[in-house]
Amino acid sequence: MFAGFLEYSIPQRARKKGLLELELHNLRDYSANRYKSVDDYPYGGGAGMVMSIEPIDRCISALKAERPYDEVIFTSPDARVLDQPMANGLSMCKNIIILCGHYKGVDERVREHLVTMEISIGDYVLSGGELAAAVIADAVIRLVPGVLGDETSALSDSFQDGLLSPPVYTRPPEYKGWKVPDVLLGGNDRLKAEWRYEKAVERTRERRPSLLEGQDASRQ
């Protein structure tokens, strides 16, 4: 599930530049039983299987023996939902483990004792944590200094300044009678910057007014 993500685009560029190392670990390799199983029936009954604590503990311990980790993150739909400030914080970390759940989830003791942070990617349930881990990794990797060619391009993305991004255009200046705003075609950089800011505020007010409230509160 990670192959495509790792081989293309920004994660691949980051790896080639030596700014990122991303290793996949199969919990089955840490299973102590001969069937290499990593799940078991839930105590108290109910549908679905639960991921056992032992392979997870053995895997995390083996990794921690090699290097310190800033966070051990568990992907879970009942956790706090990923946002840009969380991604910014994680981009400052050196080493992170992301644990992917499956089936009904993991034995609660994993969450109580082995995990330092939990992240959801939204209020819906996926069948496994892999896509969530890829989403988290992508959001974080592109913020690592040097990964994006033009660092300002990450800084001008939506949410970075508490505003959504303004609309963007490229050539041609007119297509089927649909025009690029005149101000962007002109030579006045100050007017262009003002236009972008106004559009960003307008778009945020229309689509995500709660962001403006947050910004106002933080400025007071």
CB-count exposure of residue 167 (10 Å: 0-12, 13-18, 19+): middle
35 vs 124, beta carbon nearer ligand SAH:
124
Instruction: State whether the Cα torsion 199-202-207-208 is positive or negative.
Output: positive
Residue 20: name the closest of 144, 148, 132 by CA.
144
The only residue of 31, 52, 120, 204 in contact with ligand SAH, by rule CB under 6 A? 120
Give the C-alpha distances (Å, rounded to integers) separating 96 from 63, 101, 116, 135, 139: 10, 16, 10, 14, 14
Per CB under 6 A, the segment of 63-71, 119-127, 160-168, 212-220 that binds ligand SAH is 119-127
In the complex with ligand SAH, the residue whose CB is nearer, 106 or 141, is 106
Half-sphere exposure in the Cβ direction for 14 (13 Å, CA):
22
- The single residue among 64, 104, 199, 208 that binds ligand SAH, judged by CB under 6 A, is 104
Stretch near ligand SAH under the rule CB under 6 A, chosen from 72-80, 144-152, 190-198, 202-210: 72-80
124-143 positions binding ligand SAH, by CB under 6 A:
124-126, 128-129, 132
Figure out which of the listed residues 6, 49, 57, 77 binds ligand SAH, where binding follows CB under 6 A: 77
Q: Which of 27, 90, 100, 115 binds ligand SAH (CB under 6 A)?
A: 100
- Per CB under 6 A, 121 contacts ligand SAH: yes
Q: Which of 55, 101, 162, 166 binds ligand SAH (CB under 6 A)?
A: 101
Q: Which stretch binds ligand SAH (CB under 6 A): 3-11, 55-63, 71-79, 176-184?
A: 71-79
Q: How far apart are CA 116 and CA 106, in angstroms?
A: 15
Residue (77 or 167) nearer to ligand SAH, CB: 77
25 is an interface residue for ligand SAH by CB under 6 A? no
Least distance between ligand SAH and beta carbon 44 (Å): 14
Q: Binder to ligand SAH among 53, 102, 143, 196 (CB under 6 A)?
A: 102
User: Radius of gyration of the chain from Cα atoms?
Assistant: 22
Helical H segments across the chain, by residue range: 3-7, 9-16, 53-66, 84-91, 108-113, 130-141, 152-155, 182-185, 189-207, 209-219
**Residue owning tokens 């509160």:** 217
Q: Can residue 96 be called a binding residue for ligand SAH (CB under 6 A)? A: no
